[in-house]
């Protein structure tokens, strides 16, 4: 089978100065994409900033014969997001791909979670995706083409101790991705999300013995496929790490329908309500409502 190329496609990758984003940037550029390597250059908790991380990746891409431009803006503000998209437009006149990858951590148990831990995490992960994707969206709609990949996390999708802020932001990205898929459909804009596991500076202390198998380069093929013109899906979520790739989906069980529902009925039929057999996977809210209305007929 022919190799998948990105010739002439302009890709914005946020947080691409290290970890997963760097790997995505190197691979897309190697395959012919023109890449905005965005990175604020701070520490894992989001403090500090610098230009060396993004510039080093641009230099690596250039040394390998690819084309990239560095951008040091923060995704956490609308102005930063606009400037990141403007950098693509100023350099190449278009934007085809947005990979929302920038991220920080401020973990604490929910009891100890305060505004200084919640707001920056929501700002970078969740609002960051709004801030960058929205100015790009306008151009994608206009050109009738776009690919958006959001970096979610199992911490939000499945739940993880100490990550209420991060988990909420990451599951918020799944909701954003699904709505973008619905709204983008008629413009050939596809939006999908990943829930990765990889050894980066963010996770190197917590992954244990499996860490060395979890190379960032094993996340990138999934992201590249979701960012490619041939990507067949939109609004979906994929779990990946160490070369494993699997779909994560929201299913709806058949449940029960009782027009005279009482709390006792809910209690007495609880096992039936919870029974997972025969579930369906609605593509969007309309599909879910169709299932619900069918049961009322």
Which residue ranges make up the site for ligand NAI (CB under 6 A)? 14-15, 17-21, 38-42, 44, 46, 53, 74-76, 101-104, 124, 151, 153, 196-198, 200-203
Least distance in Å: CB of 252 to ligand NAI?
Answer: 26
Comparing CB distances to ligand NAI, the nearer of 34 and 240 is: 240
Contact 34, 8 (CB under 8 A): yes
Give the separation between CA 140 and CA 143, rounded to whole angstroms: 5
Comparing CB distances to ligand NAI, the nearer of 40 and 69 is: 40
Nearest one of 223, 118, 126 to 162, comparing CA atoms: 118
Comparing CB distances to ligand NAI, the nearer of 53 and 224 is: 53
Least distance in Å: CB of 12 to ligand NAI?
Answer: 11
Comparing CB distances to ligand NAI, the nearer of 200 and 234 is: 200
Give the separation between CA 88 and CA 95, rounded to whole angstroms: 6
In the complex, which residue's CB is closest to ligand NAI?
A: 19
Q: Which of 72, 145, 166, 238 is catalytic?
A: 166
Least distance in Å: CB of 122 to ligand NAI?
Answer: 12
Least distance in Å: CB of 134 to ligand NAI?
Answer: 15
Least distance in Å: CB of 189 to ligand NAI?
Answer: 21
166 is catalytic: yes
Nearest one of 23, 145, 20, 15 to 81, comparing CA atoms: 15
Comparing CB distances to ligand NAI, the nearer of 38 and 145 is: 38
Least distance in Å: CB of 38 to ligand NAI?
Answer: 6
Comparing CB distances to ligand NAI, the nearer of 153 and 192 is: 153
Tokens 């029974």, located at residue: 275
Residues serving a catalytic function are 166
């Amino acid at each position: 089978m022919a190799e998948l190329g990105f010739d002439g496609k302009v890709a914005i990758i946020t947080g691409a100065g290290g970890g997963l984003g760097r790997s995505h940037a190197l691979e897309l550029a190697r395959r012919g994409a023109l890449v905005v390597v965005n990175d604020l250059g701070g520490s894992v908790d989001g403090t500090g900033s610098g230009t060396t991380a993004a510039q080093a990746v641009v230099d690596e891409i250039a040394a390998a014969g690819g084309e990239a431009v560095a951008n040091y803006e923060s995704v956490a503000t609308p102005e930063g997001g606009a400037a990141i998209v403007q950098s693509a437009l100023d350099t190449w006149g278009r934007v085809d791909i947005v990979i929302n990858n920038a991220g920080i951590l401020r973990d604490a148990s929910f009891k100890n979670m305060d505004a200084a831990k919640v707001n920056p995490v929501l700002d970078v992960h969740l609002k960051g995706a709004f801030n960058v994707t929205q100015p790009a969206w306008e151009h994608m709609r206009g050109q009738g083409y776009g690919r958006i990949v959001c970096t979610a996390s199992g911490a939000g999708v499945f739940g993880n101790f100490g990550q209420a802020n991060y988990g909420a932001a990451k599951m918020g990205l799944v909701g954003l991705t699904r709505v973008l898929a619905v709204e983008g459909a008629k413009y050939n804009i596809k939006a999908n999300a990943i829930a990765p596991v990889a050894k980066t500076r963010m996770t190197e202390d917590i992954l244990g013995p499996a860490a060395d198998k979890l190379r960032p380069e094993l996340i990138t093929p999934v992201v590249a496929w979701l960012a490619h013109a041939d990507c067949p899906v939109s609004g979906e979520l994929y779990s990946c790490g160490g070369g494993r790739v699997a779909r994560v989906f929201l299913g709806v069980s058949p449940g029960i329908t009782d027009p005279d529902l009482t709390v006792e009925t809910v209690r007495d039929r609880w096992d039936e309500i919870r029974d997972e057999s025969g579930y369906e996977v609605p593509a969007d809210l309309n599909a879910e409502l169709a299932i619900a209305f069918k049961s009322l007929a």
